A and B are shown apart, each in its own frame.
Chain A
Amino acid sequence: MAEVRIEFHEQLRELEEETLATIELAGVAVDQALEAVLQRDSELAVMVIEGDDRIDGRYLDVHQGILSLLARQNPVASDLRLVAALLHTIMHIERVGDLAVNIAKLVPLMGEPPAGAGEIMAKLEAAGQQARDQLKQAQISFEQRNVNLAENLVREDDVIDSLNRQIFQEAVEIGGSDPHAREWGAHAMLIARYVERIGDHTVDIGEQIAFVTSGEFREFTDASRPGGVPA
């Protein structure tokens, strides 16, 4: 039987493409924000902050497109699940963009890294790269409707969680009696925390992929219950 409702399915496909392409933009923002931190590049940080308008614009486009599609096309079954998942996903991506901005805003405040900051810097770089990889993995999982790859994001995210805890500990210790070092350490903790939140958003996108595919929503992890590992 020939496909019907061709235009509707085309619109839905375009919305998915726009959503997933926005993951790319957010990934670039994360990359640049971390680069700005590591290189103490305030100009790059400003670019990240200004570039967030593009991500916000994509968010508004997809949001409006989804409202229109819901109102006009009455999507059902797998189409309805995809529409709901895209709405959640674009919101997570928009938050990733905001977290990259949060990181970029700290760049002019941090100044020179104190003595012994090399280890923390290396871990921030590793966490940022891990977040970037997870965003890519979420995008591929969505494109391929690959639930195994989506579920694997939880294990990947453990890497960021672990780095976050290590950075926290090392940043506490680096301060000592030097006020600048204490302040720098606090900022490093915040950056690690923002990257950790980006990782969580990739896991949340993974949960949406599982929902699209199976029709049942389930959280991959539940940190609020006993046995869950607090981030």
Chain B
Amino acid sequence: MTDELRRREQDPGHDGVVDPVAREGVPIHIEGRATDASKTQARRAQEVVFDVRGVTVSYAGVPAVRDIAFDVRAREITALIGPSGCGKSTMIRCLNRMNDLIPGATVEGEILYNGENLYGPRVDPVQVRKLIGMVFQKPNPFPKSIYDNIAFGPRVIGMKGDMDGVVERALKRAALWEEVKDRLKENAYRLSGGQQQRLCIARCLAVEPDVILMDEPCSALDPIATARIEDLMLELKDRYSIVIVTHNMQQAARVSDMTAVLMPEVRDGDQTIGHIVEYADTGKIFTNPDNKRTEEYVTGRVG
């Protein structure tokens, strides 16, 4: 995986080796960590995909989130929840370097992806975004056929071979195949909103990612389409690691294994900075959270 993150055309004189970071036994500084011994033990045995350590993200020198620390385990769904302006989207966009595209955005601290610094000097952001796909709030299919939407990514990265097979496999994994298999040449805009979002998920799957990031993927969908996407997420987690940002607490409660609660704190007048107040097993967050602010947020007393 390590090599996959790097630019394809490296300086031939460079050995391309990055020192592995010793990670065993590093305590993760998180308030209100789940105390359930069996769950914690079971999770320890699982592979860590992201290890986020002391991350502060600033826009034009103004911090938006500070000291963020949590880990994302393989084949789990990790939710980031919190009120508007707490930095959920800022944080998830760091996980595939989408913030690089915003002028003046800086990321301090470390985000280790499969043990390697995601922001290391030899890491290729394009490769990062191939391995770590993203689905956005509003479905954003290309103005092309259903088939071409799926085939676009594989063609761009030079995938060869059975493109029909690639398209079919991606659509099947996104639970859309049965609904569109007889109209693959139709324009993707003719699909419903929920189908368009599943198409975007299929498009993301077509380039064989490792992680899927979802930034409020259901906020534009009706309850049934939302339930379909949630069912799909639960199916996909057998194969992929998923991080979801949602302002819908119940959605995080329904689908996620782990939940990070971000809350804004006011600094310098009306400036707010988000930080994690609690990161724990989702069941704990919604039945018996350790942190008072988590309790107030999930019970609707503050927001």
A interface residue numbers (CB < 8 A to B): 1, 4-8, 67-68, 71-74
Contact = CB atoms under 8 A, between A and B. Distances in A.
Nearest to A8: B254
Interface stretch (B9-17, B144-152, B181-189, B224-232): B224-232
A67 B287 contact: yes
Contact of A5 (B230, B282, B287): B230
A12 to B, nearest CB: 13
Contacts of A1: 224
A171 to B, nearest CB: 48
A71 B230 contact: no
Contacts of B253: 71-74
A68 B286 CA distance: 8
Nearest to B253: A72
Contact of A73 (B224, B228, B254, B287): B254
Interface in B283-301: 283, 286-287
A71 B286 CA distance: 6
Nearest to B227: A4
> Chain B interface mostly helix, strand, loop or mixed?
helix
B34 to A, nearest CB: 13
Contacts of B230: 5
B216 to A, nearest CB: 18
B250 interface: yes
Given A4-B231, A5-B230, A6-B231, 18 more contacts: A4-B227, A5-B227, A5-B254, A6-B234, A7-B231, A8-B254, A68-B283, A68-B287, A71-B253, A71-B283, A71-B287, A72-B253, A72-B282, A72-B286, A73-B253, A73-B254, A74-B250, A74-B253
Nearest to A70: B287
Contacts of B282: 72
Contacts, number: 33
Contacts of A72: 250, 253-254, 282-283, 286
A67 B288 CA distance: 10
A42 to B, nearest CB: 37
Interface in B72-87: none
B240 to A, nearest CB: 16
B226 to A, nearest CB: 9
Which 3 A-B pairs rank lowest in CB-CB distance, beginning with the nearest?
A: A4-B227, A72-B253, A71-B286
Interface string B32-56: 0000000000000000000000000
A71 B254 CA distance: 9
Given A71-B253, A72-B254, A5 B286 contact: no
Contacts of A5: 227, 230-231, 254
B239 to A, nearest CB: 16
29 contacts: A1-B224, A4-B224, A4-B227, A4-B228, A4-B231, A5-B227, A5-B230, A5-B231, A5-B254, A6-B231, A6-B234, A7-B231, A8-B254, A67-B287, A68-B283, A68-B287, A71-B253, A71-B283, A71-B286, A71-B287, A72-B250, A72-B253, A72-B254, A72-B283, A72-B286, A73-B253, A73-B254, A74-B253, A74-B254
B251 to A, nearest CB: 10
A1 B286 CA distance: 31
A7 to B, nearest CB: 5
Nearest to A7: B234
A156 B227 CA distance: 44
Contacts of B231: 4-7
A1 B179 CA distance: 12
A1 B282 CA distance: 30
Nearest to B225: A4
A56 to B, nearest CB: 19
Interface string B233-254: 0100000000000000010011
Contacts of B286: 68, 71-72
A66 to B, nearest CB: 11
Nearest to B175: A2
A68 B288 CA distance: 10
A40 to B, nearest CB: 43
